Amino acid sequence: MRFPRKHRRPGAVWARGPARSPAAAAARGPGRGIRAASPRGRQSSRQSPAAGRAGAGRGTASARARPRRLAPLWCRPWRALPRGRLRCRRTTAAMELEPELLLQEARENVVAAQSYRRELGQRLQGLREARRQIKESASQTRDVLKQHFNDLKGTLGKLLDERLVTLLQEVDTIEQETIKPLDDCQKLIEHGVNTAEDLVREGEIAILGGIGEQNEKLWSFAKKASHIQLDSLPEVPLLVDVPCLSAQLDDSVLNIVKDHIFNHGTVASRPPVQIDELIEKPGGIIVRWCKVDDDFAAQDYRLQFRKCTSNHFEDVYVGSETEFIVLHIDPNVDYQFRVCARGDGRQEWSPWSVPQIGHSTLVPHEWTAGFEGYSLSSRRNIALRNDSESSGVLYSSAPTYFCGQTLTFRVETVGQPDRRDSIGVCAEKQNGYDSLQRDQAVCISTNGAVFVNGKEMTNQLPAVTSGSTVTFDIEAVTLGTTNEGGNFKLRVTISSNNREVVFDWLLDQSCSSLYFGCSFFYPGWKVLVF
């Protein structure tokens, strides 16, 4: 900081901190001619002459315990000294030390500025992504609205045209059905009119001939007239008895349609639910979501996903839970996830959440293929005990379970239970056993019994049923020889049906990864591993 030039006096000397005489500076010892500014501003501590003499030798204890650091240049107090009255002269050691401190301070400031620039750059990137999300979502919303209302107008126009055609057909039908009797009556009357005209002409001719010589004409006319019923007239319906067509059009439908149209569709700035967490699993990803709108009462949720290279989302879950594991995930492939909700008592779904990208770097768990007695799914993560009479332990194709992870078995279907049934993990594959209830393995039986190195524990879990989920969480505890005789200790937590047991598992040697396995003696058991 520099004071304005108008406040300086020619020849004035500017110094940092409190001024000291050369004698006092020499008394304080080498390298201590400059003091850092006090944290409290212009207040600075002063040492007594005795403390100064003691410091000339080896420095005070307080100075060694709390080393001072130069404050930044723009924070240090500066003041002008009267001309010709220099109150502080730096020693040679102090003059040599200040450039080093300034250089160190400059380096720290450069590092701080670089870090500050990086943080600002990240925030600018975040702002750009936020702006892009707003722009893209607004553009997509406009397109959706335009397309929807264009479709709606086309559909409404088509429905109105169809209704018009239906009403016109009704008019035509009524007209044709009611006009036909009138046409028949008209033909009858016209025929009578023609007959009457012919009779009139013949009668007039007969009358003009006289009685003498025209008797035959009069007799013929009288005979003809007697056959015509001149006193019989057809009945013509009254106007009140024939249809009078009209169109009954209720204008209130316009108000109803108007109200529906004005209330049709909404624009939401934020969806009521958002994806909260994506947790990678071997061959799957656990998706968790939560409500962000407290006023929204969610009844069901709908989860969709797709590969980032695909244009089509597909449903993977619809229900009331706020967590779901999406299986059939290829490792090291990016997937997009989105979720929406349906309000209580409503049929339409809410807007979709902001899509989140996740992937799994963990190798999918797979059962060993070609093992007689078990049939596998296409991805080899589901094992079904078939009708084969051969028995044994079905192991994983590789030791893909690592300590610190969670291994999950989900029983899809159940068969007849047996006390030798087992689901668990082991240090290595050992053929010739018909169960994991052996050394170097931990497992749970279908009746809920827990076995560690072939010994049954007193604690027991609930029996396994259809839909049961059994999880194994294993952590390394100690390395080296233990009092129990093992060389490697693992802490195992087995959970099933909201209950769990925790115990230590001793192995002869350390294992960076473990196998998993299962064995069932009766067909019908189907197990999914992830």
Residue 50 has pLDDT above 70, yes or no: no
Residue among 305, 326, 322 nearest 314 (CA) = 305
Predicted local confidence at residue 79, as pLDDT: 43
What distance in Å separates the CA atoms of residue 49 and residue 491, rounded to the nearest whole number?
65
pLDDT at 450 over 90: yes
Residue 425: pLDDT band (50, 70, 90) is: very high
Cα 492 from Cα 516, distance rounded (Å): 14
Q: Do 375 and 390 form a contact (C-beta atoms < 8 A)?
A: no
Which residues 6+ apart lie within 8 Å of 74 measured at CB? 1
Neighbours of 92 (CB within 10 A): 9
Q: Could you write out the DSSP letters of every residue in 1-54?
A: ----GGG--TT-EEEESS---HHHHHHT-TT-S--PPBTTBT------HHHHHH
Which two tokens mark 475? Answer: 């952590």
Look at residue 22 and tell me whether its pLDDT is greater than 50: no
Q: Would you place residue 245 in the very low, low, confident or very high pLDDT band (cuts 50, 70, 90)? A: confident
CA distance 376 to 395: 12
Give the dihedral of Cα atoms 510, 516, 522, 525; nearest 10 deg: 150
Q: Which of 388-392, 418-422, 434-438 has the lowest mean pLDDT?
A: 388-392
Encode burial over 393-431: b for 16+ CB neighbours within 10 A, e otherwise: bbbbbebbbebebbbbbbbeebbebbeebbbbbbbeebe
Q: What is the mean pLDDT of residues 500-504?
A: 91
Q: If DSSP codes are grouped into helix, strand and coil, which group holds residue 261? A: helix
DSSP state of 173: H
Range with the lowest mean pLDDT among 159-173, 214-228, 229-243, 267-281?
214-228
Q: What angle do CA 148, 154, 158 make, to 5 degrees?
A: 140
What's the rounded Cα separation, in Å, for the pair 329 and 450?
31
Pairing of strands 356-358, 374-376: unpaired
Q: State yes or no: pLDDT of 173 exceeds 60.
A: yes
Would the pLDDT of 517 be above 90? yes
DSSP 88: -
Residues 6+ apart with CB under 8 A from 489: 476, 477, 478, 482, 504, 505, 506, 507
Burial of 169 (0-12, 13-18, 19+ CB in 10 A): exposed
Which of the residue ranges 106-115, 183-192, 293-302 has the most confident prediction, judged by mean pLDDT? 106-115
**Cβ proximity of 504 and 477 under 8 Å:** yes
Q: Which of 18-27, 120-129, 143-152 has the lowest mean pLDDT?
A: 18-27
The mean pLDDT of 128-157, rounded to a whole number, is: 90
Model pLDDT, residue 411: 93
Whole-number pLDDT of residue 469: 92
Over 80: is that where the pLDDT of 46 sits? no
The pLDDT, as a whole number, for residue 68 is 40
More reliable by pLDDT, 448 or 487 = 448
The pair of structure tokens assigned to 434 is: 């018909």
pLDDT of residue 213: 56
For residue 143, the one-letter residue type is: D
pLDDT at 67: 39
Q: What is the pLDDT of residue 255?
A: 84
pLDDT at 84 over 50: no
In 209-235, which residue ranges form alpha helices assigned H by DSSP? 215-227
Intra-chain end-to-end CA distance of the chain, in Å: 64
The interaxial angle of helices 215-227 and 92-208, nearest 10 deg, is 140
Residue 97: band (very low, low, confident or very high) from pLDDT cuts 50, 70, 90: low
DSSP conformational letter for 180: H
What are the backbone dihedrals phi and psi of residue 172, each rounded to the nearest 5 degrees, phi first?
A: -60, -40
Q: CA 487, CA 452: separation in Å to the nearest integer?
A: 16
Per-residue confidence (pLDDT) for residue 6, from 0 to 100: 40
For the chain, give the number of residues: 530
Tokens of 232: 């019989």
Say if residue 78's pLDDT is above 70: no
Question: What's residue 71's pLDDT?
Answer: 42
Average the pLDDT over 228-250 and give the result: 81
Q: How many CA atoms lie within 13 A of 370 on its CB side?
A: 1
Q: b/e per residue, 267-295, with b = 16+ CB within 10 A? A: eeeebbbbbbebebbbbbbbbebebeeee
Residue carrying structure tokens 């016109």: 168
Rg of the chain, C-alpha, whole Å: 51
Query: Could you tell me the pLDDT band of residue 370, with boundaries at 50, 70 and 90?
Result: confident
Collapsed DSSP state (helix, strand, coil) of residue 370: coil
Share of the chain above pLDDT 90, in %: 33
User: What pLDDT shows up at residue 92?
Assistant: 52
Q: Has this prediction a pTM greater than 0.75?
A: no
For the sheet with 273-281, list strands across it.
Answer: 273-281, 284-291, 323-327
Whether pLDDT at 54 is above 80: no
pLDDT at 415 over 60: yes
What is the structure's pLDDT at 81? 40
Burial category of 337 from C-beta neighbours within 10 Å (exposed 0-12, middle 13-18, buried 19 and up):
buried
Indicate if the pLDDT at residue 384 is higher than 80: yes
Question: Which tokens in the block code for residue 53?
Answer: 């003499």
**Mean predicted confidence (pLDDT) in 371-385:** 89
**120-129 confidence digits (pLDDT tens):** 999 999 999 8
* Mean pLDDT value of segment 201-215: 70
Residue 306: per-residue pLDDT: 93
Lowest mean pLDDT among 136-140, 267-271, 447-451, 524-528: 267-271
Instruction: State the average pLDDT over residues 259-271.
Output: 83
Whether the pLDDT of residue 274 is over 90: the answer is: yes
pLDDT one-digit tens code per residue, 63-74: 333 334 334 433
**CA-based torsion, 129, 131, 134, 136: positive or negative:** negative
Least confident of 7-11, 138-142, 294-298: 7-11
Three-class SS state of 149? helix
Could you tell me the pLDDT band of residue 96, with boundaries at 50, 70 and 90? low
210: left (phi over 0), alpha (psi -120 to 50) or beta: left
Q: Mean pLDDT for the chain?
A: 78
Distance CA 494, CA 500 (A): 5
pLDDT of residue 212: 60
Quick one: average pLDDT of 227-236?
76
